[in-house]
């Protein structure tokens, strides 16, 4: 992880059909047509005034969503997300307006230097300091946010605190690392010591594994390195683990919405086949995804560390509000595929682990692993996130059912 990536409308509420009521009683002579028309119009006005708001509340109630066919967990093929920024009226039964749930956007600005107007402050932690540092920078952003939220002093508030900085798309050189940098801690405190043992390929800026905290020969920082580094640097204030999703992108989007709303912290997403990583800070939704099983997702708050001076990517943004349909289905804009394209080896830059319980496949540098026919990250969607698993082991991974994985 770390190489530069290769390059509606509201619910159409069911139209109420007023059936013509027939009765067996004798009726008085029919009124003149003009009087009848006025009476019908008066009835329609009274009906709309009396029941319009109630119908809206019904449509967003538990019964209404089931009976009327609206989605129960956000992603629904019969419903198109409203345009970002659109708000629905508030029903008498409770708030149903579009609201943001997740990490503080003010805190995200402190952690990254990026505001929601897509501006980056001078001398801030972002953008990433070297071409292969996207996961270093997103890890830095996670750590800074956690420390900010817990009233602790943020330790990594400059670009150079990620590792040896080239300030270009050229990779950094781990031989130049210094104490106080994230890369230094990964190599000296968090190196992976798992069977069959560390195997270094090449040297300098092309060393693989790039950080010794990796369990793969990744040219940047792999998901295991992220999980152990966030845990270590925040003094294990909360548990953080790899989460591996074998299910559909829509299900993953629901999960991300629920987790960011619940913990109000950013999580890291490995996107674009694992070639890039971003922070998902939160979600705009109709209803709180953490507590409302019928919440409807609108869009996600996404932060990307890629330095736009090195090449236009993700629409030239550091912050972007990504609509649900694009987040799930991908978009051709600047190669951003979000959840649509799962983790891949990317010509050996992002291989599966070659050591530990999750070693899988055939490593491009050391050959077959103990599970040569399996895959772990490759082919799946991968996040690193806070959870409730107090196992004191950030090496562990959990699947889409939140179950501990004991192998690939």
* DSSP bridge partners of 203: none
Average pLDDT value over all residues in the chain: 82
So what's the pLDDT on residue 4?
40
Question: Mean of the pLDDT values across residues 259-283?
Answer: 96
Please indicate, yes or no, whether residues 47 and 167 belong to a single structural domain of this protein: no
pLDDT per residue as tens digits for the range 73-105: 333 333 334 444 433 333 334 557 999 999 999
- Whether residues 157 and 72 fall in one domain: no
Based on the fold, state whether residues 80 and 116 are members of the same structural domain.
no
Residue span of the structural domain in which 42 resides: 33-84
| Peptide bond preceding 209 in cis form (omega within 30 of 0) | yes
Instruction: Report pLDDT for 96.
Output: 77
Q: Pick from 22, 51, 84: which residue ends a domain?
A: 84
> Please, what is the Cα angle at 179 between 175 and 180, to 5 degrees?
125
Closest CA to 351 of 368, 364, 333, 338: 364
The number of C-alpha atoms within 13 Å of 247 and in the hemisphere containing its C-beta is: 11
Helices 134-149 and 105-112: angle between axes, nearest 10 degrees: 130
CA distances 336 to 12, 327, 376, Å, are: 30, 9, 23
Is there a single domain that holds both residue 241 and residue 369? yes
Asked if residue 315 has pLDDT above 90, the reply is no
Q: Provide the pLDDT confidence category of residue 336 given band limits of 50, 70 and 90.
A: confident
Give every CB contact of residue 93 below 8 A, 6+ residues apart in sequence: 57, 61
153 in the same domain as 123: yes
Residue 166 and residue 73 share a domain: no
**DSSP label at residue 10:** S
Tell me: do 38 and 143 sit in the same domain.
no
> What's this model's pTM, rounded to 2 decimal places?
0.78
184 lies in the same domain as 275: yes
Q: Residue 97 forms beta bridges with which residues?
A: none
Task: Tell me whether residue 90 is in a domain.
Answer: no
pLDDT in tens, 343-377: 999 988 999 999 999 999 999 999 999 999 999 99
Q: Report the domain count for the chain.
A: 2
* Residues 241, 140 share a domain: yes
Helix (H, G, I), strand (E, B) or coil at 129: coil
Beta bridge partners of residue 322, listed in sequence order: 300
The per-residue pLDDT for 182 is 98
Residues 48 and 180 in one domain: no
Shared domain for 247 and 304, answered yes or no, is yes
Asked if residue 380 and residue 276 are part of one domain, the reply reads: yes
Checking if the pLDDT of 72 tops 50, the result is no
């Amino acid at each position: 992880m770390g190489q530069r990536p290769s390059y509606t409308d509201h619910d159409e509420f069911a139209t109420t059909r007023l059936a013509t009521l027939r009765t067996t009683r004798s009726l008085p002579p029919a009124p003149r047509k003009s009087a009848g028309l006025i009476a019908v119009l008066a009835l329609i006005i009274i009906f709309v005034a009396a029941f319009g708001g109630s119908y809206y509340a019904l449509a967003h109630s538990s019964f209404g969503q089931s009976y009327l066919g609206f989605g129960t967990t956000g992603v629904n093929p019969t419903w198109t997300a409203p345009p970002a920024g659109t708000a629905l009226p508030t029903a008498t039964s409770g708030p149903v307006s579009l609201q943001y749930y997740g990490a503080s956007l003010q805190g995200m600005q402190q952690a990254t230097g990026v505001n929601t107007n897509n501006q980056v402050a001078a001398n801030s932690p972002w953008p990433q300091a070297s071409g292969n540092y996207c996961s270093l920078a997103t890890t830095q952003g996670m750590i800074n946010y956690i420390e900010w939220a817990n009233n602790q002093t943020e330790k990594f508030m400059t670009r150079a605190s990620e590792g040896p900085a080239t300030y270009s798309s050229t990779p950094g050189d781990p031989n130049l690392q210094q104490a106080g940098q994230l890369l230094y801690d990964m190599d000296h405190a968090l190196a992976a010591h798992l069977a069959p043992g560390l195997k270094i390929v090449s040297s300098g800026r092309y060393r693989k594994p790039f950080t010794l905290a990796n369990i793969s020969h990744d040219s940047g920082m792999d998901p295991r390195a992220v999980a152990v580094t966030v845990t270590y640097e925040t003094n294990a204030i909360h548990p953080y683990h790899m989460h591996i999703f074998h299910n559909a992108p829509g299900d993953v989007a629901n999960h991300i919405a629920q987790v960011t709303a619940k913990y109000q912290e950013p999580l890291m997403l490995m996107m674009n086949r694992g070639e890039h990583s971003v922070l998902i800070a939160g979600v705009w939704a109709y209803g709180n995804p953490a507590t409302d099983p019928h919440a409807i997702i609108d869009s996600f708050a996404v932060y990307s560390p890629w330095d736009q001076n090195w090449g236009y990517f993700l629409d030239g943004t550091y912050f972007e509000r990504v609509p649900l349909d694009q987040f799930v289905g991908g978009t051709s804009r600047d190669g951003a595929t979000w959840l649509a394209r799962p983790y891949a080896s990317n010509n050996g830059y992002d291989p599966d682990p070659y050591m530990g319980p999750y070693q899988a496949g055939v490593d491009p540098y050391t050959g077959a692993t103990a599970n040569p026919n399996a895959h772990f990250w490759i082919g799946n969607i991968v996040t690193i996130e806070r959870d409730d698993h107090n196992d004191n082991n950030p090496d562990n991974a959990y699947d889409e059912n939140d179950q501990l994985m004991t192998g690939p």
